[in-house]
């Protein structure tokens, strides 16, 4: 059995803090080892702080169109 | 990660809120003083009333919000650490408040000692604020044009403050060492750096970040993000050449600087309106409407100023600078500031409550922080006050009603900000009451 498909939140058309609210809700139900991917226009500093506090791992990748893809995994 | 640490060390919510909650009170006072003084305050830009009102709005209302917002903004958006924010706010806030009150009182009463007192307090407060912000912005890990523009804006504040303190020393009878410069030359540079080098520069830098983020527009084109601040800086340097000794022959350069600054300001307003027309979500809110109002006011300001330059007889009317000043302060800057406060306070409420809420209770959403109807009514009142203020320049009959309307609008703003603070405090109290 392979890893479950990562969940995706495309926050690029959302008004702050909707992407953060959706991320928080999604992370609450994420299984251990599961991944959440977020697409955003900027660097979500407040999100990183929340992820650190809750012990999630994450890394960000620059996309060709200037947006950022943030990969979040639950340990 | 370094960025994440930055938010953890972000200032407590009381740091920006003390500035935000004080700011509208300066507007309330300014409106009441205008209603009390009546048409004599609008006789010319040199009337004691006009000078007092200008500084209640610029050194009072605007500076309070700009300081409070910057202390929080550079931490959340730029990831920069502020040195001991609670202590800095605890010193800067009362000094900024008292110096603006003393300065306005000095203009109204003409007492020399009050100018010196205001200048002394302001020098300590502004000096501390500028040092702390400069250190934070030098060390920030964030990159990008917006950060450079914020640094330029702080340089603009530094020059505005130095020139303002020099002018206050002259008015206070202690300007002997400054006799090399005619006071009018110092004044002209003080106004230029205050309006364009500090306030407009800050607005431009903040726009690069918040217009795309909160209004879901495309980003400002890269060439424009460079042209606006560098062009404005060049224009301000040309304008400031008059401070050099024997600079009487440099009139052409000054006019070139002024025209360049006006055209760049118009370009910035048009670009912002164009980006807003291409936003990805069509729905509008009060904050967005305030931004539009400010950009239209900036276009009217630029068009009026160009008209005054083209027709000197019109521009030499004693009321022309008042018309421009009202478009700049209540029209452009206070409109943006009010719109931003309606975005920043709900956002900071949400962010801080989210941090303290844990997982059991969800904090109120952004839209539940301030009643939409109250914000909308206050915006209409601000628009009406702006219309009355401009009408008051042309027809003295409208000056007193304009003062009352402006005061009421600021009082309503204060109430809306207090209600946002109460939502925060109530939710915090609920959270701590839970077992």
Q: What is the pLDDT of residues B212-232, one digit of tens each?
A: 888 989 889 999 999 999 999
- B359 pLDDT exceeds 80? no
Give A66 to chain B, closest Cα distance, Å.
10
Q: Is B280 on the interface with A (CB under 8 A)?
A: yes
Q: In the A/B pair of chains, how many CB contacts fall below 8 A? A: 57
Which of A13, A21, A46 shows the shortest C-beta gap to B281?
A13
Tokens of B287: 């904050």
Angle between the N-to-C axes of helices B145-171 and B112-139, in degrees from 0 to 180, rounded to the nearest 10: 160
Q: Is the pLDDT of residue A42 over 90?
A: no
Question: Whose structure tokens read 């917002």?
Answer: B69
Closest Cα in chain A, distance from residue B362 (Å): 10
Contacts of B77 in chain A (CB under 8 A): 45
pLDDT (tens digit, 9 = 90+) per residue, A6-33? 789 998 888 877 888 888 888 888 888 8
Mutate to test the interface with A, among B1, B79, B218, B281 (most CBs of A within 10 A): B1
Mean pLDDT across chain B: 91
CB contacts of A16 in chain B (<8 Å) are 213-214, 347
ipTM (interface pTM)? 0.71
Decide if pLDDT at A43 tops 80: no
Tell me if chain A has a CB within 8 Å of the CB of B219. Answer: yes
Calculate mean pLDDT across residues B128-147: 89
Which residue among B4, B77, B142 places its CB closest to the CB of A49? B4
Please name the member of A15, A41, A46 whose beta carbon is closest to the beta carbon of B7. A46
Nearest CA in chain A to B78: A45
Residue B310 has pLDDT above 90, yes or no: yes
Residue A41 touches partner B, C-beta closer than 8 Å: yes
**Contact present, B167 and B186 (Cβ < 8 Å):** yes
Binary contact (A48, B1; C-beta < 8 A): yes
Distance from CA of A40 to the nearest CA of B (A): 10
Q: Among A41-45, A61-65, B245-249, B261-265, which stretch is predicted with the lowest mean pLDDT? A: B245-249
Distance from the Cα of B384 to chain A's closest Cα (Å) equals: 29
pLDDT band (50, 70, 90) for residue B205:
very high
Considering only residues 54 to 93 of chain B, which have any Cβ-Cβ distance to chain A shorter than 8 Å? 76-77, 79
Please state, for a pLDDT cut of 70, what percent of chain B lies above it.
95
Q: Which of B26-35, B62-71, B275-284 has the lowest mean pLDDT?
A: B275-284
Residues in contact with B241: Cβ distance below 8 Å, sequence separation at least 6, in sequence order: B247, B250, B253, B254, B257
- pLDDT recorded at residue A22: 87
**Spatial distance between the Cα atoms of B359 and A3, rounded to a whole number of angstroms:** 27
Residue B277 pLDDT exceeds 50: yes
Chain centroid, CA B310 distance in Å: 29
Q: Give yes or no for residue B74 having a pLDDT over 90.
A: no
- Where residue B4 falls among pLDDT bands split at 50, 70, 90? very low
Closest alpha carbon to B210 in B291, B282, B294, B268: B291
Residue contact B359–A49, C-beta within 8 A: no
Q: Which chain A residue lies closest to B358 (C-alpha atoms)? A: A54
Looking at residue B6, its pLDDT comes to: 42
**A12-29: string of b/e by CB count within 10 Å (b at 16+)?**
bebbbbebbbbbbebbee
Residues of B in contact with A49 (CB under 8 A): 4, 7-8, 355
Instruction: With a cut of 90, say whether residue B422 has pLDDT above it.
Output: yes
B366 Cβ under 8 Å from any chain A Cβ: yes
- Name the DSSP letter for residue B86: H
Q: Is residue B234's pLDDT more than 80?
A: yes
Kindly state whether A10 is in contact with chain B, defined as any CB-CB distance less than 8 angstroms: no
Q: Does B213 touch chain A if contact means CB atoms closer than 8 Å?
A: yes
Say if A28 is an interface residue toward chain B (CB within 8 Å): yes
Predicted pLDDT at B8: 53
Cβ neighbours of residue B430 closer than 8 Å, sequence gap 6 or more = B361
Of B415, B413, B411, B421, nearest to B379 by C-alpha is: B413
Residue in B closest to A28 by C-alpha: B359
DSSP 8-class letter at B200: I
Asked if A45 and B79 come within 8 Å (Cβ–Cβ), the reply is yes
pLDDT(B350) > 80 = yes
Query: What is the helix (H) or strand (E) element at residue B171, kind and residue range?
Result: helix B145-171
| DSSP one-letter string for B19-46 | HHHHHHHHHHHHHHHHHHHGGGGGS-TT
**Range ranked top by mean pLDDT from A1-5, B9-13, B176-180, B405-409:** B405-409
How many Å apart are CA B89 and CA B95, to the nearest integer? Answer: 10
Q: How confident is the model at residue B329 (pLDDT cuts 50, 70, 90)?
A: very high
Contact (Cβ atoms closer than 8 angstroms) between residue B266 and residue B298? yes
């Amino acid at each position: 059995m392979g890893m479950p498909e990562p969940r995706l939140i495309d926050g690029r058309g959302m008004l702050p803090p909707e992407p953060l609210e959706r991320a928080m809700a999604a992370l609450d139900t994420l299984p251990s080892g599961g991944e959440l991917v977020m697409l955003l226009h900027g660097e979500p500093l407040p999100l990183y702080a929340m992820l650190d506090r809750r012990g999630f791992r994450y890394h960000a990748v620059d996309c060709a169109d200037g947006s950022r893809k943030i990969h979040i995994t639950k340990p | 990660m370094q960025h994440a640490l930055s938010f953890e060390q972000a200032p407590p919510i009381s740091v920006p809120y003390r500035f935000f909650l004080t700011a509208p009170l300066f507007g309330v006072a300014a409106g009441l003083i205008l209603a009390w003084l009546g048409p004599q305050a609008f006789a010319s830009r040199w009337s004691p009333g006009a000078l007092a009102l200008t500084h209640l709005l610029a050194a009072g209302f605007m500076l309070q919000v700009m300081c409070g917002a910057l202390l929080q903004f550079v931490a959340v958006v730029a990831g920069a650490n502020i040195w001991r924010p609670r202590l800095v706010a605890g010193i800067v806030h009362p000094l900024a408040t008292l110096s603006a009150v003393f300065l306005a009182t000095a203009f109204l009463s003409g007492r020399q000692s009050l100018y010196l007192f205001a200048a002394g307090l302001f020098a300590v407060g502004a000096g501390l604020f500028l040092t702390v912000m400069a250190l934070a912005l030098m060390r920030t890990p964030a990159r990008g044009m917006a950060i450079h523009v914020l640094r330029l804006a702080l340089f603009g504040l530094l020059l505005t403050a130095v020139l303002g303190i020099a002018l206050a020393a002259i008015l206070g009878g202690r300007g002997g060492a400054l006799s090399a410069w005619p006071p009018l030359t110092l004044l002209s540079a003080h106004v230029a750096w205050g309006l364009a080098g500090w306030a407009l520069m800050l607005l431009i830098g903040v726009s690069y970040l918040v217009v795309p983020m909160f209004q879901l527009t495309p980003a400002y084109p890269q060439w424009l993000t460079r042209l606006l601040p560098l062009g404005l800086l060049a224009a301000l340097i040309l304008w400031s050449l008059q401070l050099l000794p024997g600079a009487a022959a440099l009139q052409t350069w000054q006019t070139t600087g002024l025209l360049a600054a006006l055209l760049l300001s118009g370009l910035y307003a048009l670009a912002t309106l164009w980006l807003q027309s291409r936003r990805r979500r069509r729905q509008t809110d009060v904050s967005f409407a305030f931004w539009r109002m400010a950009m239209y006011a900036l276009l009217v300001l630029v068009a009026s100023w160009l008209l005054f330059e083209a027709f000197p007889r019109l521009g030499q009317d004693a009321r022309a600078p008042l018309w421009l000043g009202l478009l700049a302060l209540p029209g452009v800057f206070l409109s943006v500031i009010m719109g931003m406060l309606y975005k920043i306070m709900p956002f900071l409420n949400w962010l801080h409550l989210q941090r303290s809420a844990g997982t059991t209770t969800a904090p109120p959403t952004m839209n539940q922080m301030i009643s939409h109807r109250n914000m909308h009514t206050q915006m209409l009142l601000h628009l009406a006050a702006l219309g009355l203020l401009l009408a008051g320049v042309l027809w003295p009959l409208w000056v007193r009603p304009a003062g009352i309307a402006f005061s009421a609008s600021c009082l309503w703003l204060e109430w809306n900000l207090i209600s946002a603070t109460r939502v925060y405090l109530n939710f915090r109290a609920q959270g701590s009451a839970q077992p």
